[in-house]
Structure 1
């Protein structure tokens, strides 16, 4: 399960956007930290981040690839 964390806890994280974002600012960013991942809204990077353990990150990716949580 992910938890909301203030950005200060992720100050050294290297954030990146998907190559599918088209260069806009309407997507999420991901940083790989401490054996898992953190995701945040690219429009509001100071708004906090959702941290996921490695298994949670893999589950999120599987659900997105399958078309949503109802498919996972």
Structure 2
């Protein structure tokens, strides 16, 4: 399944740097979407988001609809 093929390494979110307790890591998927996981529990599962859903999420964060 192309949407679940992770094509980059996971990177910790920049907002999670500096000793934050709640950390996420994000990687690119082959279809242009993203894979997201908890940096403290990497074996706990990975969420996959298609490119359209990821773009909508980013737009919502930028406009203040998600905090």
Provide TM-score, normalisation by structure 2.
0.69
Higher strand share: 1
CA deviation string 1:39-69 (max 9, x = no partner): 1111211111110111111111112222335
Structure 2's unaligned 5+ residue stretches are none
The match for 2:9 is 14
- What is the match of residue 66 of structure 1? 63
Identify unmatched segments of 5+ residues in structure 1.
Answer: none
SS in structure 2 of the partner of residue 60 of structure 1:
helix
* TM-score, length basis structure 1: 0.65
Q: Which has the higher contact order (CA 8 A, sep 6+)?
A: 1
Where does residue 23 of structure 2 map in the other structure?
Answer: 27
1:42 aligns with 2:36: no
TM-aligned CA deviation for residue 21 of structure 1: 1.6
